[in-house]
Amino acid sequence: MTTVLSDSTTSALSTTVPTGAVRRVLIANRGEIALRIIRAAHDLGIKAVAVYTRADSDADFVELADDAWLLDGSGAGETYLDIEKILALAKRSGADAVHPGYGYMAENAQFAQAVIDAGLIWVGPPPAAIELLGDKSGARAVAEAVDAPVAPGSDGAVADLTEADEVADRIGFPVVVKAVHGGGGRGFRACAAAEDLEAAYTAATREAQSAFGRGECLIEKQIVRPRHLETQCLADAHGNVRVVSTRDCTLQRRNQKIIEEAPAPFLTAEYERIVSEASARLLAHVGYVGAATCEFLLGEDGTIIFMEANARIQVEHTVTEEVTGVDLVGWQVRIASGEALPDEFPAVRGHSFQFRINAEDPTTFFPATGAVKNHRAPSGPGVRLDSGIGEGSVVGTDFDPMLAKLVVTGATRDEALARARRALSEYRIEGVSTLLPLHRVLVNEQAFATDFKVWTNWLETAFVNPLVDPQLGEQMSTATDSFSVVVEVDGRRMTVSVPKDVIADLGHVPSPSVPRRKRGLSSRKGAKIADDSNALNAPMQGTIVSVSVNPGDTVEAGDTLAVIEAMKMEQPLKAGHSGTVSEVLVDAGASVKSGEAIIRFAA
């Protein structure tokens, strides 16, 4: 087995992880993944320690942990991203191991090294492997070394826009600009033509710097209308690597997954062999230990390429667990304890879907906030809900918008879809906008449910969202825009959905109230425009990253006027019509509320 070291930084990190009996594990995460790790630990007879912020003091993961310690501070930067605070609580709580979950510091090699240096067991891969695979240019070099298919592109990160232009000219458009560090769709921009490259490169590097603290990007040839495939893998400290299942994660918005399924449907045996063998070779090559996911793109022309390897458990691990019966989170802890993997895992049986229940507007995908007032979870055969919320939970902007994961399994893909339709119809969350209405549409969409003629940006380029009025571009009513009232008519019980605006007009909005939505033009690509067309309003709460116009400037419909950031994702705000800017109301760096005017136009 060969461990690849890419530079002096990586070589200073451990290439192995110490193993030992885990008896008390601290979970450096929150929400549903913290709860999932707590349950896996309890199944193994291990004590679980939660760390929490004041906003989560009543959360389920705090209540169900054996011990819970306050992370003082606000926002991720002062809490879950503070290595010293996490390690101090690990010591005070008597933990002998740290599980990072996913996100936050799960792929932070320095955090992993700090845990090991503190004499604790790190439930994850060696820091050197994290550093190497977290660097997309390094991962690309490893893929080439083990003969995994890769797309034409730059040799590592490009130095500047000039080099980006040179690489794009050499490999031809369309291209993608990808952040070398991090993932989750952040720091990723597609570019169809040379005139768009500067904007794509600037946005990708800025977003990467904001999300990961490093803005380096590489350039690759774009695969046209690709499916997003991945392999779920496990590797132990004894040199064994196993591919547990394939998955498909093609349905995405802003390059972030919203529906995943296992196994990958309509995948030939040859393609399954290619991705499985390439994954095993790659992980063995870097001396990997723990759970990992290798991701690939399969173009409509049959081209398949390795994209990246994620050195952690994935959000969508659930669907692999459902079709194999393998407790992946439990195996992370067992591997960290020194246990060897079996010669083989159970073969895949059935089919499973995961629906990410994000706090987002289902028509624009903008983050949403509010208080959960009514939460009714689905149940029944084949239904699993990994949730971090309940009635009274407050959804803010400090953390990721994912509230829960609905996982539905059946003997076949068709049966799983039928169960998903039923489960989604049962599921109720009121008080905050979620993707539930969109999921209910998608499981009945022929292109996805039957024909499987979808690709990674299909939602943004080809899907006609019936939740948006096709004539006005206005959001249609969803569960968050109304309240349910139960009445009896001639002895028959009926549930009536009453528009929130009607109740508000009568002066009887239930408390706590949710701000009334201003109706206006909306678009995934830009901001909401006020009804009088004389203002550009913030479509969500966030921070203004840049403003590109000044008073007196003339703009055309579709021009980018400003960029807003929330949840570490940037959103360009575009002009809905031509006109002249009369007033710029905010500067870069300003915090704005949803609906707040940013730019005004001359009448």
Are 334 and 457 in a shared domain? yes
- The CATH number linked to 313 is 3.30.470.20
Task: Report the range of poorest mean pLDDT among 47-56, 124-133, 524-533.
Answer: 524-533
Are 576 and 534 in a shared domain? yes
Distance between CA atoms of residues 32 and 39, nearest Å? 11
- Does the pLDDT value for residue 287 go beyond 50? yes
% of the chain surpassing 90 pLDDT: 69
Residue 4: pLDDT band by 50, 70, 90 thresholds? Answer: very low
Residue 274: pLDDT band by 50, 70, 90 thresholds? Answer: very high
Distances (CA, A) of 238 to 1, 125, 127, 319: 10, 13, 17, 27
The answer to whether 52 and 72 have CB atoms below 8 angstroms apart is no
- Does the pLDDT value for residue 472 go beyond 90? no
Residue 508: pLDDT band by 50, 70, 90 thresholds? Answer: very low
- Does the pLDDT value for residue 539 go beyond 70? yes
- Does the pLDDT value for residue 39 go beyond 60? yes
Task: Report the range of poorest mean pLDDT among 204-213, 219-228, 493-502, 578-587.
Answer: 493-502
Are 167 and 291 in a shared domain? no
In a domain, 304, yes or no: yes
Rounded to two decimals, the pTM is: 0.81
Report the Cα 506 to chain-centroid distance in Å. 40
Final residue of a domain: which of 440, 461, 482? 461
Over residues 576-582, mean pLDDT: 89
Distances (CA, A) of 276 to 133, 329, 369: 17, 21, 40
Final residue of a domain: which of 439, 461, 483? 461
Strands 67-70 and 121-122 turn out to be unpaired
Over residues 303-331, mean pLDDT: 97
Q: What is the predicted pLDDT for the residue at 399?
A: 72
487 C-beta neighbours (distance < 10 Å), count:
9
Are 209 and 237 in a shared domain? no
Task: Provide the mean pLDDT of the chain.
Answer: 88
Measuring CA to CA, which residue among 331, 356, 384, 308 is closest to residue 99? 331
Are 200 and 70 in a shared domain? no
Are 215 and 235 in a shared domain? no
The answer to whether 578 and 555 have CB atoms below 8 angstroms apart is yes
The answer to whether 369 and 397 have CB atoms below 8 angstroms apart is yes
- The CATH number linked to 584 is 2.40.50.100
The answer to whether 353 and 261 have CB atoms below 8 angstroms apart is yes
Over residues 234-251, mean pLDDT: 98
The answer to whether 334 and 388 have CB atoms below 8 angstroms apart is no
Q: Containing domain of residue 189, as a range?
A: 152-221
Are 330 and 430 in a shared domain? yes
In a domain, 477, yes or no: no
- Does the pLDDT value for residue 478 go beyond 80? no
Residue 519: pLDDT band by 50, 70, 90 thresholds? Answer: very low
In a domain, 162, yes or no: yes
Q: Which residues pair with 310 in a beta bridge?
A: 293
Are 115 and 168 in a shared domain? no
- Does the pLDDT value for residue 518 go beyond 70? no
Task: Report the range of poorest mean pLDDT among 23-32, 496-505, 556-565.
Answer: 496-505
In a domain, 498, yes or no: no
Are 354 and 374 in a shared domain? yes
Q: How many domains does the chain have?
A: 4
441 Cβ contact list (under 8 Å, min separation 6)? 465, 466, 467
Q: What is the predicted pLDDT for the residue at 48?
A: 99
Q: What is the predicted pLDDT for the residue at 229?
A: 99
In a domain, 396, yes or no: yes
462 C-beta neighbours (distance < 10 Å), count:
12
The answer to whether 87 and 118 have CB atoms below 8 angstroms apart is yes
Are 270 and 346 in a shared domain? yes
- Does the pLDDT value for residue 83 go beyond 90? yes
Q: What is the predicted pLDDT for the residue at 522?
A: 38
In a domain, 244, yes or no: yes
- The CATH number linked to 83 is 3.40.50.20
Strands 256-257 and 252-253 turn out to be antiparallel
Distances (CA, A) of 456 to 224, 225, 259, 600: 9, 7, 11, 35
In a domain, 450, yes or no: yes
In a domain, 11, yes or no: no
345 Cβ contact list (under 8 Å, min separation 6)? 242, 244, 324, 326
Are 443 and 556 in a shared domain? no
Final residue of a domain: which of 221, 246, 265? 221
Are 247 and 336 in a shared domain? yes
